[in-house]
């Protein structure tokens, strides 16, 4: 998993509440188990017409936000089904951080497991960042995970809270597999002893 230490990028405003996972990545794109290639289908039904043409007014189709790395959204972001394809699609598009007043629990947890930083802030702070994000290409923000700070385009700073263990995992690029592999010496030692005491398990 890619480490998340600090990020400076364009923030895209998505002032919508209850954005569910089917809006993030519709069900017809869930057949794959690959984590790549889903970015083009992110927010598919809002980004494209039924004929497959881009909707010019949708935020991620606007020139200023095509390479956005931060998404500022409304409350209860990521609600609905528990599909892990939702953070995969965001990440494949290039979104590394989502800021909202609240998140659905499963989506929130899945973000951390895929190298995306979900930040929960009071509505007033989200409103300020949403307003900043509407500046287009000038809507550059810096997310400093170590300091737990967001620096806006006007130089203002907003602090955010994060669970220390999740912060450690993001800073070091540790997903569930990475955490397990940190115990590799102990696992190998156990297996070596077990091969001697219960060799039939390894035949």
- pLDDT value at position 199? 79
The pLDDT of residue 181: 63
Q: pTM for the complete prediction?
A: 0.88
Note the pLDDT tens digit of each residue in 84-133: 999 999 999 999 999 999 999 999 999 999 999 999 999 999 999 999 99
> Which regions in the chain score pLDDT beneath 70?
176-184, 186-189, 192
How is residue 13 written in tokens? 């405003």
- Which residues on adjacent β-strands are paired with residue 79? 20
Q: Delineate the domains of the chain, giving CATH numbers in brackets.
A: 6-172 (3.20.19.10)
pLDDT at 201: 75
Going from the C-alpha of 16 to that of each of 57, 59, 105, the distances in angstroms are: 15, 12, 18
pLDDT for 148 equals 98
Cβ 47 vs Cβ 25: under 8 Å: no
Q: Are the beta carbons of 153 and 135 closer than 8 angstroms?
A: yes
What pLDDT is attached to residue 179?
A: 60
């Amino acid at each position: 998993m890619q480490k998340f230490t600090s990020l400076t990028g364009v923030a895209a405003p998505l002032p919508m509440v209850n954005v569910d996972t089917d809006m993030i990545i519709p069900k017809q794109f869930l057949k794959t188990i690959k984590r790549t290639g889903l970015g083009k289908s992110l927010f598919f039904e809002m980004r494209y017409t039924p004929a497959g043409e881009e909707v010019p007014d949708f935020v991620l189709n606007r020139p200023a936000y095509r390479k956005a790395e931060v998404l500022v959204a409304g409350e209860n972001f990521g609600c609905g089904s528990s599909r892990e394809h939702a953070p995969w699609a965001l990440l494949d598009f290039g979104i590394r951080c989502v800021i909202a007043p609240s998140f659905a629990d499963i989506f929130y947890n899945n973000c951390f497991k895929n190298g995306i930083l979900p930040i929960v802030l009071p509505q007033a702070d989200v409103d300020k960042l949403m307003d900043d994000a509407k500046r287009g290409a000038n809507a550059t923000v810096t997310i400093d995970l170590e300091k737990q700070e967001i620096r806006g385009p006007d130089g203002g700073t907003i602090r955010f809270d994060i669970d220390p263990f999740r912060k450690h995992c993001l800073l070091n690029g540790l997903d569930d597999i990475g955490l397990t592999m940190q115990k590799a010496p102990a696992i190998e030692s156990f297996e070596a002893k077990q091969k001697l005491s219960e060799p039939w398990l390894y035949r």
